[in-house]
Structure 1
Amino acid sequence: MRALECWIVALNRALVAIVLAIVFAIVFINVVGRYGFNTSFAWAEEVARHLMILGAFAGAGLALREGRLVAIDALPIMLPRRYELALRWAIVAVMFVFMAVMGWLGIRFVEFGWNKETMSTGISRGIPYLAIPIGCALFLVQLAFFAKRFVAQDFEIQAGGASVE
């Protein structure tokens, strides 16, 4: 199971890195074109925006496992250990329900936008909207692997990110 988790984390990191590299390339080329050659691509801003949204949604689960999401931990650390664990499991349950509902609503949003076109590229709006259910699914997978360690606070923050071990 640990090997599967490591593989999924690596795949998730690669997806986020590739998406952000593409965004960088698109924006860089468009800026050079605009200021260097007095021309720009009409589709660049739209595509970069949609990819940034995908990067944010796809990276949310990684941010959770690396302790990079905003959290207020004053209450849990003041509680006795038994209640702290119960509160942490409740937080996991709330995160799971929230992301599951958001993923389901994201699917509905994709269905809603599928027959409409984007302004610049003319592709179906459902395609960029796929970032929502994909990101929520990745978050839920990361949460499923990470929940027990999150509750026990048994994870290590390193300079390059959290250890999977």
Structure 2
Amino acid sequence: MLDRVERALVACNRWLLIVLLLAMACIVFANVVLRYTTGDSIVWAEEVARHMMIWCTFLGAGLVLRFGGHVAIDNLHNAVGPRAARAIRAVVVAGVGLFCLVMTYFSVLYVWATRFQTTAATDVPMAWIYVAMPVGFLLMFAHLLFIARGYVADGSYVESGEMGADAAASI
């Protein structure tokens, strides 16, 4: 059951990123083409593309964590014995988890504080853009919980035929 939930979460997360990146690329491409062919550009294109990039960043952070694509310094737990290495990795997981939860809390406060501000071109409430932060941190926490056991036990991340740590880092 938990495995099915994990697969569904990863699939939804990936497809949402794919759709957002595709839409962002289409908007930017159309704006560039219009600018060079007609001399006019889409007024809202740059703003919407920027907001989509914010959402992609926060939605993609959990997937990058899952596949080991974030910057990591692993010299210490590689230099010590297996028991000490597991303890170090457990502290790292606890620290990252605590960071995600604290950032979720403070980003919710930030979203609440900006609920009356609107964007310049589209007049969308800034809270709709900034809600990417708590959603992203909660997703990262969920991905962390799914990989924590394997990471603490042997320092491994999720293996995938279509994505490794280098590919995840490029998201």
Report deviation, 1:26.
Answer: 0.9
Instruction: Give the % identical residues.
Output: 36
Report deviation, 1:153.
Answer: 2.4
CA distance in structure 1 between the aligned counterparts of 2:156 and 2:118, rounded to whole angstroms: 46
Report deviation, 1:156.
Answer: 5.3
Instruction: Give the ranges of 4+ consecutive aligned residues of structure 1 lying more than 6 Å apart after TM superposition.
Output: none
Taking the TM superposition and a 5 Å limit, the aligned residue runs for 1:5-84 are 5-84=6-85
Equivalence for 1:129 = 130
Report deviation, 1:16.
Answer: 1.1
CA distance in structure 1 between the aligned counterparts of 2:110 and 2:141, rounded to whole angstroms: 19
Q: TM-score, normalised by structure 2?
A: 0.90
Report deviation, 1:158.
Answer: 4.4
CA distance in structure 2 between the aligned counterparts of 1:16 and 1:71, rounded to whole angstroms: 23
The residue type paired with residue 139 of structure 1 is M
Report deviation, 1:159.
Answer: 5.1
Report deviation, 1:155.
Answer: 3.8
Q: 2:155 aligns with which of 153, 156, 160?
A: 153
CA distance in structure 2 between the aligned counterparts of 1:156 and 1:9, rounded to whole angstroms: 11
The DSSP-based 3-state class of the residue aligned with 1:161 is coil
> Mean alpha-carbon deviation: is it higher for 151-160 or for 86-95?
151-160
CA distance in structure 2 between the aligned counterparts of 1:14 and 1:150, rounded to whole angstroms: 25
The residue type paired with residue 24 of structure 2 is V
Asked whether the equivalents of residues 67 and 157 of structure 1 are also in contact (C-alpha less than 8 Å), the reply is: no
**CA deviation profile, 1:12-34 (whole Å, cap 9, x unmatched):** 11111111111111111111111
**CA deviation profile, 1:33-81 (whole Å, cap 9, x unmatched):** 1112211112111111111111011111100111111111111100111
CA distance in structure 2 between the aligned counterparts of 1:73 and 1:112, rounded to whole angstroms: 38
Equivalence for 1:114 = 115
The residue type paired with residue 144 of structure 1 is L
Q: TM-score, normalised by structure 1?
A: 0.93
Structure 1 gap ranges (5+) = none
Taking the TM superposition and a 5 Å limit, the aligned residue runs for 1:95-106 are 95-106=96-107
The DSSP-based 3-state class of the residue aligned with 2:87 is helix
Equivalence for 1:87 = 88
Once superposed, what is the RMSD of the aligned Cα atoms?
A: 1.3
- Equivalenced residue count is 162
Structure 2 gap ranges (5+) = 165-171
